[in-house]
Amino acid sequence: MPSTKAQEREDACQLLRNALQVRHFPCNTALALSARSRADAAPPASLTHWASEIDFVIWTGDNARHDNDRKNPRTPTEIYDLNRAVAAKMERAFTRKGIPVVPSLGNNDVWPHNIMEAGPNSITNTFSLIWKSFIPFPAYQVFQRGGYYHVEVIPNSLAVVSLNTMYFYDSNKAVGGCQYLDRDDPGNLQFDWLEVQLTMFRERNMQVWLSGHVPPSPGNYFPECYVRYAELALRFQDTILGHLFGHMNADHFTFVEAIDLQFTEPASANGKKKKTQLYKDLIDEYSAIPTKKSALNFDDYGVINVSPPVVPNPYLPTFRVFSYNITGYKAGMEADFQRKHKHRRGDHRSKDKLCKKEPFKNSWKCRLSAPWHSDPESPSRLNRLWTPLGYAQCLTDVGLGQYYLPHLERANKTKKPKFKLEYLTYPLSMLHPKGGAEDDGAFQYPVPVGHLPRSVRNGTVEGESKPDGTIVD
């Protein structure tokens, strides 16, 4: 009998069960948790291994098993118990050592699946207790209302905003979808809050990561919610370092674009809605970007990074470790980045007629006209203090390391699976001091030497290196 996707997923999960010595590994929960019965066990080595090397953790949600087993339906109690167990692991591995952890709600962390009403509600109240050690006390009231908050992971310099994307996600039929006239819609309230936070951070000369579970795209968000996200992402380009999301279970990046704020011809509705594969959509998106630098305006784009999962659904378990520029930083310093100019929205003439008519005049596209703040010398565009070196590889040539869990079929009770480096976006020449010079303590290793494959630890490449930075060890 040919295998099905469900069977393939179950086979992969069984490999993890065998390797982790557990009987009931919930198929799509985070790897930080092996099972509810192991909640009191020590944190996995994959967490503690990095605890002395990192500054903060961005955790994009979906910690309970997915709602795809009709014979064993999920319950609120199970969902909350699994989240408590994962949170306990993260707290022991990181928070108790002074490392901030910034979690977000996933669409599988709520019950019913994909559904979350406006808060305060039982979900926000329960998670405010589960995540008590992660959410700063001043953010509690906002979190209980809407499930979103921010953390200054480096005080007065760098913040992470955790968004509740359930209020933007078009599968959530309990909300209104950010309609302009519905100002009390929970999605609109969250964007109003986000606008205030970004304005405040900008006035304080701080830099910000935006994070959440469901990534912004026309295919994921309600149309009006997507417009509001894209507009804020582009308006505050000089303040936002990057956008980190999950949900899609596929390693990729995409964009929010200025064109998303314009009116376009509707797609022809001839029959059923056409379904395409993600990689084909991405190829089309990348192909639409101007190839000539003279025709490319960076102000019109924001890059959305979407990380792969830490469970085999459908690919190998992975996680990412970013590095960023800390040149010139001293503890307790105030940010000193000065913006040089700001750009206004592009030509509005094409909107004039449409925005006088129904249904356009009460849409966000016709109501958003605030100045855009962008600067080619901001840390998201130029390598300087707080620049995410793994985020902007097209500009700075250096980047992130991604780790994966290979050879699950070889794992068993005595031979546990181990994470290995999958690929780097760093040139190999940047992993060690130039010219093979001895390290005098001044060289900043983008990846700690102990975490590199043996083939590149000594500054020479003994394995085969591919053009994209992948090491065949």
pLDDT of residue 302: 95
372 with 460, same domain: the answer is no
Which residue would you say has higher pLDDT here, 276 or 113? 113
pLDDT of residue 46: 55
pLDDT of residue 4: 55
Domain assignment present for 342: no
62 with 141, same domain: the answer is yes
Which residue would you say has higher pLDDT here, 17 or 81? 81
CATH of the domain at 305: 3.60.21
Q: Which of 7, 18, 29 is nearest to 309 (CA)?
A: 29
Beta bridge pairs of residue 321? 401
300 with 246, same domain: the answer is yes
Domain assignment present for 414: yes
**Domain ends where: 338, 358, 383?**
383
Q: Measured between alpha carbons, how far is 176 from 182 in angstroms, rounded to an integer?
A: 8
Predicted confidence band of residue 420 (pLDDT cuts 50, 70, 90): confident
431 with 301, same domain: the answer is no
pLDDT of residue 345: 35
The domain of 171 spans 5-264+276-315+348-383
Give the alpha-carbon dihedral of 261, 266, 272, 273, to 10 degrees: -10
301 with 418, same domain: the answer is no
353 with 452, same domain: the answer is no
Which residue would you say has higher pLDDT here, 438 or 375? 375
Which residue would you say has higher pLDDT here, 429 or 377? 377
38 with 93, same domain: the answer is yes
357 with 433, same domain: the answer is no
* Percent of the chain's residues with pLDDT above 90: 43
- For the ranges 17-31, 75-89, 149-163, the lowest mean pLDDT is seen at 17-31
Domain assignment present for 470: yes
Q: Is the pLDDT of residue 33 over 60?
A: no
| Order of strands across the sheet that contains 252-257 | 149-154, 158-162, 207-211, 240-245, 301-306, 252-257
Pull the structure tokens for residue 451: 């975490």
Q: Is the pLDDT of residue 459 over 80?
A: no
Domain assignment present for 81: yes
- For the ranges 24-33, 77-86, 209-218, 286-295, the lowest mean pLDDT is seen at 24-33
Domain assignment present for 100: yes
Rounded to 10°, the helix 223-235/186-203 angle is 0
Q: Is the pLDDT of residue 275 over 90?
A: no
**What's the average model confidence in pLDDT over 159-177?**
97
Domain assignment present for 197: yes
Domain assignment present for 269: no
Q: Is the pLDDT of residue 266 over 80?
A: no
pLDDT of residue 168: 98
Backbone angles phi, psi at 464, to 5 degrees: -85, 135
Domain count along the chain: 2
**What's the average model confidence in pLDDT over 37-64?**
69
293 with 414, same domain: the answer is no
Cβ 314 vs Cβ 254: under 8 Å: no
Domain assignment present for 133: yes
100 with 188, same domain: the answer is yes
286 with 433, same domain: the answer is no
Mean pLDDT rounded to a whole number for the chain: 78
Prior bond to 427 cis, omega within 30?
no
pLDDT of residue 460: 62
Which residue would you say has higher pLDDT here, 439 or 455? 455
Q: Is the pTM of this model over 0.85?
A: no
300 with 411, same domain: the answer is no
